[in-house]
Amino acid sequence: MRETPLSNCEREFILNFIAQQKRLDGRKAYDYRDLRIAFGVSLGCCHVELGKTRVLAQVSCEVGEPKQTRPHDGVLYVNVELSPMACPSFEQGRQSEEGIELSRLMERCLKESRCLDLESLCIVSGEKAWHLRVDIHVLNHEGNILDCASIAAISALAHFRRPDVSVHGEEITIHTLEERNPVPLSLHHMPLLVSFTFFSQGKYMLIDPSSKEEKVMEGKMVVGMNKHRELCTLQVTGQMLLLKEQVLRCSSIALTKVTRITELIHEALENDKQARLKGDKHGFAVLVSGDKVTSNRLPKTEVKVDTLEVSDDMGESQSSEDESGNEPMEEHTEGVPKESAVEILTKGVGMIGEGGASTWLDVPQADTKQLAAKKQKHKVSKMEEDEGSSEEEEKVILK
Amino acid sequence: MAAPIGNVVIPGDTFSLLQLQPNDEHKKILLGPGLKEEEAEIKVLRPGILRFRKPGVYWVDCHHKRYIPAKGDSVIGIVNQKVGDIFRVDIGSSEQASLSYLSFEGSTKRNRPDVKVGDIVYAKLLVANKDMEPEIVCIDGYGRSNGMGVIRNGGFLFHTSLNLARKLLNPECTLLKSLGNRFQFEISVGVNGRVWIKAANDVQTIALVNSVIASEYKDNDQIKEMCKRISKAVSRMEVD
Amino acid sequence: MAAKNGAQLSKNVLQMKFMQRSVLRMEKEQNEEERQKIIDDEHWALDLPEYKTKESDFLENQSYSVCEELLFGRQSYQGFNPEVEKLMKVQNAEREIQKTEEKEKEESVGDKEMAQRYSSLMGIIAKKFSNKRQRQSETESQEGEEGPFVRKFMKPPE
């Protein structure tokens, strides 16, 4: 199906706005949207939400012959699926140019960075080896699929466990999950892709573009990096010329982003592990109870007008909220995780996080607890009590 | 049993004529979207809430994102292509609409209207049949533009659900009025879920865009409250 | 042709021997015409039992704007776009007028009622201005028209 064309007035407006160093959704130039990482019940299944962009990655494995050229190595396949579900303009079956670029970049990021120890996947040299397959399904396209997909893929690989294998002479036994604990893959490092978009001959640069920003961008640079400051991939597309300083600046920004995201992935992995050990609810089940993956939830607005507070007279607006504003507001913010109740300083250009370039603003814990407590008082809490704890475990929010 | 006005109906539900409100005069009952007459019965085609308006209008109100063309609707389209003497315009329906260059105010064969690809037009649907290309025009029956035509001079276009667009145009919705009391702006709403807003500056425009998006599930009191907050925030911002 | 020229030849003339050829020709022509007519009818009208087109009680309209009586989509506030604002004013005024008209219709007396009332009133007022004799003659003439069911005034027996 045909994509909705971008009108001239949208294009002009967005470019104008960027020239004023502002973004439509109130972010700063170097801000990511809210990032949520959740794991499925099965091992190696990861669901990542970046704003409204959603990607699901699933890792699977089977035993097969290794490649002739590399008889001592296992094989890793990467497959990116762009279905019309994500965006009506994607066609089923046929790989679009965009799709090819995406899967190629993902392959380069995961394979050529040698983050995965393929030798450990070999069972019998030249005869049997594990074939790993990472299927990346884009569920919703709201811009920057690439970063989202790379986070999902690497998290899924880190989450995945393959069945244990024992070799006695000629005999190879693949143990079921009940017989022996499955073995994690040996990941050396976590390469992540960070895309930078450029406007007006590289004059303005934005991180994590939304779909509209992607439509008006002039060019894009993708930096693949791990937290050890090792550059894994670098790709520049579009018609623009970049200065050396810009590339260096991008890579240093990418480093801070990658470090933070890697931390978040580890945190999410750890939380999932703990939940599994304790036998708590884990996987998508948690999301369903919290109305996080059902389509019936109230759609989230990009800029939360309800939490709008003018910084100067905070006391005043808060008191009025307690009396009247709170009750009706609760209905509407329900389903929106409380941690994301960002204090937007001013409307329109209200920013998420007040830090300058590439700093991260952690949500103060006290605030969220206060909010949760407030909610209980108002007796609107449906899932909030168990949410309050499980959400922090399951989801990590990045601002 | 009367027809369940205000309640949820599901495709396949049927009503007989008797279940509808008796209409005193010999006016016909108007069946709106989601209802169809079949063998002296009314069948429901879409899931949603059954609505009624005097004297005898019934329709089903359901949540839509994809626009289905209907004759007489006012829509905002994006000009996508020039083919000979017609423009192909994207109005959000499954098929692109055609717009003749003659159906602008004051245009003749010699005097073509100045429309470029990517421009947005406010137009009315003249032909909207199933399985047929919809046709839109930018003039009324007397050849006057009547507010239709190309929308120029900047502003910002965004897409909403069809319900929100209808809500904005509902005479009972206070959003535009209460925003109008606080801001100086211009808005164009197409029932195909496209809204164009232009205000004095970009910051105000974005503020208005966000308040429109945020108002989808708010009632009139909440909307008033929100407008108050937004105008406060914007005025503070402009002072800074 | 004889027939077309309107001068019909008489039967007697046609029976004459020298006219036989033109008689044949005329017959042929007539047959042809009839056949053509039959063919034409067959082609253009399907011979089906007549449809009973019962008038439907419903009108269908797929537009939400009609059903919900939506406002015009272009609006401007505080004089941002005077052109649109002017248009808005005109349309609002029209809407207002329509509303008040509807209200009036609901509250005031309907046309039919008015007519009925007026016609009955007319008789009464007319009576007022006519004298006794006129009235009498009027009733008499009416009675005469109304046939056998009308009671007649009988003189009381002496």
Share of chain A above pLDDT 70, in %: 71
> pTM to 2 decimals?
0.72
Q: How far apart are the first and last CA of chain C?
A: 89
- What pLDDT, on the 0 to 100 scale, is given for residue A331? 34
pLDDT, one tens digit for every residue, chain C (158 residues) = 444 555 777 888 888 888 888 889 989 999 999 988 877 776 666 666 666 666 677 788 888 888 888 888 899 998 888 888 898 888 889 888 988 888 877 776 677 777 887 787 777 777 777 776 666 666 655 555 555 566 777 777 76
In a domain, A83, yes or no: yes
Closest by Cβ to B72, choosing from C58, C66, C76:
C66
B64 to chain C: closest CA residue: C64
Mean pLDDT of A349-357: 35
Q: How far apart are CA A323 and CA A314, in angstroms?
A: 14
- What pLDDT, on the 0 to 100 scale, is given for residue A257? 93
CB contact under 8 A, A328 and B221: yes
pLDDT-based confidence at A209, cuts 50/70/90? very high
Q: What is the pLDDT of residues B181-211, one digit of tens each?
A: 999 999 999 999 999 999 998 889 999 999 9
Non-local (6+) Cβ contacts of C7 within 8 A are none
Average pLDDT, chain A: 76
**For chain A, how many structural domains are there in total?**
1
Alpha helices in A195-345 (DSSP H): 211-216, 244-278, 284-289, 314-320, 326-333
Closest CA to B57 of B74, B73, B35, B81: B35
A365 pLDDT higher than 70? no
CB contact under 8 A, B230 and A308: yes
Lowest model confidence (mean pLDDT) among A235-249, A311-325, B40-54: A311-325
CB contact under 8 A, B118 and A8: yes
Q: What is the CATH number of the domain that holds A155?
A: 3.30.230.70
- What pLDDT, on the 0 to 100 scale, is given for residue B21? 62
Phi, psi of A114 (to 5 degrees): 55, 40
Mean pLDDT of A141-169: 92
List chain C domain ranges.
14-41, 76-119
Burial class (CB in 10 A: 0-12, 13-18, 19+), B71: middle
Lowest model confidence (mean pLDDT) among B64-78, B151-165, C91-105: C91-105
List chain B domain ranges.
7-61, 73-150, 156-238
Q: Which residues of B touch C72 (CB under 8 A)?
A: 74, 147, 169
CB contact under 8 A, B73 and C57: no
Length of chain C: 158
HSE value, Cβ hemisphere, 13 Å, CA-based, for C134: 6
A329 pLDDT higher than 80? no
Structural domain harbouring A280: 27-168+182-289
Closest by Cβ to A7, choosing from B120, B204, B237:
B120
Q: What is the pLDDT of residues B215-225, one digit of tens each?
A: 988 889 989 98
- What pLDDT, on the 0 to 100 scale, is given for residue A283? 73
Mutate to test the interface with A, among B65, B91, B210, B221 (most CBs of A within 10 A): B210
- What pLDDT, on the 0 to 100 scale, is given for residue C114? 78
Pair C66, B164: CB distance under 8 Å: no
Mutate to test the interface with C, among B23, B59, B91, B170 (most CBs of C within 10 A): B59
Q: How far apart are CA C22 and CA C26, in angstroms?
A: 6
B221 to chain A: closest CA residue: A328
Q: Which residues of C touch B50 (CB under 8 A)?
A: none
B35 to chain C: closest CA residue: C60
Q: Which residues of A touch B94 (CB under 8 A)?
A: 1
CB contact under 8 A, A7 and B237: no
Closest by Cβ to B207, choosing from A306, A310, A347:
A347
pLDDT-based confidence at A323, cuts 50/70/90? very low
Between A236 and C48, the more confident residue is A236
Quote the CATH superfamily of domain B73-150: Nucleic acid-binding proteins (2.40.50.140)
- What pLDDT, on the 0 to 100 scale, is given for residue A126? 87
Which segments within chain A are labelled E, that is strand? 35-39, 45-50, 53-64, 75-82, 122-124, 128-140, 161-162, 165-168, 171-174, 183-184, 192-199, 204-207, 219-225, 231-238
Closest by Cβ to C56, choosing from B37, B71, B191:
B37
- What pLDDT, on the 0 to 100 scale, is given for residue C46? 64
DSSP reduced 3-state for B52: strand
Closest by Cβ to C63, choosing from B42, B71, B176:
B71
DSSP reduced 3-state for A66: coil
Instruction: Report yes or no: B176 at the C interface, CB cutoff 8 Å.
Output: yes
A337 pLDDT higher than 70? no
A324 pLDDT higher than 70? no
A296 to chain B: closest CA residue: B63
pLDDT-based confidence at A378, cuts 50/70/90? very low
Q: Which residues of C touch B29 (CB under 8 A)?
A: 57-59
Say whether the A–C interface has 3 or more Cβ pairs within 8 Å: no
Non-local (6+) Cβ contacts of B178 within 8 A are B223, B224, B227
Pair A224, A109: CB distance under 8 Å: yes
- What pLDDT, on the 0 to 100 scale, is given for residue C115? 81
Q: Which residues in chain B (65-124) have CB-CB distances under 8 A to chain C?
A: 68, 70-74, 76, 122
B77 to chain A: closest CA residue: A7
CB contact under 8 A, A2 and B229: no
CB contact under 8 A, B230 and A13: no
Between C151 and B107, the more confident residue is B107
Residue range B7-61 in CATH 2.40.50: yes
Mutate to test the interface with B, among C57, C71, C72, C99 (most CBs of B within 10 A): C57
DSSP state of A281: -
Lowest model confidence (mean pLDDT) among A202-216, B49-63, B90-104: B49-63
Q: What is the pLDDT of residues B109-119, one digit of tens each?
A: 888 888 999 99
Q: What is the pLDDT of residues C56-98, one digit of tens each?
A: 777 888 888 888 888 888 999 988 888 888 988 888 898 889 8
Burial class (CB in 10 A: 0-12, 13-18, 19+), C148: exposed
Q: Which residues of A touch B196 (CB under 8 A)?
A: 9
Closest by Cβ to B78, choosing from A5, A301, A305:
A5
Closest approach of B37 to chain A, Cα-based (Å): 31
B194 to chain C: closest CA residue: C73
- What pLDDT, on the 0 to 100 scale, is given for residue A291? 54
CB contact under 8 A, B74 and C60: no
- What pLDDT, on the 0 to 100 scale, is given for residue C65? 86
Closest by Cβ to B154, choosing from A13, A306, A348:
A13
Average pLDDT, chain B: 88
In a domain, A362, yes or no: no
Mean pLDDT of A290-309: 56
Mean pLDDT of B56-63: 88
Q: Which residues of A touch B236 (CB under 8 A)?
A: 310, 312, 346
Closest approach of C45 to chain B, Cα-based (Å): 26
Burial class (CB in 10 A: 0-12, 13-18, 19+), A68: exposed
Mean pLDDT of B70-78: 93
Closest approach of A136 to chain B, Cα-based (Å): 27
A389 pLDDT higher than 60? no
Q: What is the pLDDT of residues A72-109, one digit of tens each?
A: 999 999 999 898 888 888 888 777 888 899 999 999 89
DSSP reduced 3-state for C81: coil
DSSP reduced 3-state for A337: coil
Q: Which residues of B touch C74 (CB under 8 A)?
A: 122, 147, 186-189
CB contact under 8 A, B120 and A328: no
- What pLDDT, on the 0 to 100 scale, is given for residue A359? 32
Closest by Cβ to B171, choosing from C65, C69, C79:
C69
